[in-house]
Amino acid sequence: MKSERGAKGNGCFLLSSRVKSHIIIIILPQTYSEARSREVKGKGEGKMARSITYITGSQLLSLRRQPNIAIVDVRDDERSYDGHISGSLHCASDTFSDNIPNLVHQLKGKDTLVFHCALSQVRGPSCARKLVNYLEESKEDAGIKNVMVLERGFNGWEASGRPVCRCNNVLCKEGGSA
Ligand SMILES: [Zn+2]
């Protein structure tokens, strides 16, 4: 009997504290929910590459020999007559979506991918986005952490006098890390 009375007492206490917390939430409803949604978004971003960043030609020049970096050339026919960045891998934009699983398999062990086309205005960024979307949807962890786009693309790279190769290999071994 004594405990029953105690429980009733607690019930009353809880009720009054709930009323108080309702008042607090009503005062700051938007700020509270905005802060929560930002927090959830931030947690997801830490897991794998979700945003695409840009890298300059000079930054890539100094990083490209590192074994964890792959340069992905998504130009179409231009690769065969304009040459390519030494050490780059060809994956043409017109068949890119179909080749993503193969590409991810080929890039095992690379955690940073640098995409480019001729100017890196359309094909380069859009293929980079397709890859990020694929990684988000696929359940397996491909180990890819950074997806980047080379500023000014192949044309900017060549115009700055940086190393260009004219071999016919899909994966160029000239000056690359492979
Ligand atoms: Zn080559």
Q: What pLDDT, on a 0 to 100 scale, did the predictor assign at position 28?
A: 43
Q: What pLDDT, on a 0 to 100 scale, did the predictor assign at position 47?
A: 55
Q: What pLDDT, on a 0 to 100 scale, did the predictor assign at position 136?
A: 92
Candidates 110, 90, 108; CA nearest to 99 is 90
CA of 68 to the centre of ligand 1 (A): 19
Q: Which pLDDT tens digit goes with each residue over 85-109?
A: 999 999 999 999 999 999 999 999 9
Average pLDDT over residues 121-140: 94
Tell me if residue 117 is catalytic: yes
Query: Residue 132: left if φ>0, alpha if ψ -120 to 50, beta else—which one?
Result: alpha
pTM: 0.72
Quick one: pLDDT band at residue 63, thresholds 50, 70, 90? very high
CA of 84 to the centre of ligand 1 (A): 6
Helices (H), 2-142: 2-27, 29-45, 57-63, 78-82, 96-106, 123-137
Which tokens belong to 13? 């206490």
pLDDT greater at residue 175 or residue 117: 117
Instruction: Flag the least confident range among 19-23, 33-37, 163-167.
Output: 33-37
CA of 164 to the centre of ligand 1 (A): 8
CA of 54 to the centre of ligand 1 (A): 23
Q: What pLDDT, on a 0 to 100 scale, did the predictor assign at position 49?
A: 61
Q: Which pLDDT tens digit goes with each residue over 142-166?
A: 899 999 999 999 999 999 999 999 9
Active-site residue (options: 91, 117, 127, 172): 117
172 with 87: CB under 8 angstroms? yes
Q: What number of helices (H) and strands (E) belong to the chain?
A: 7, 7
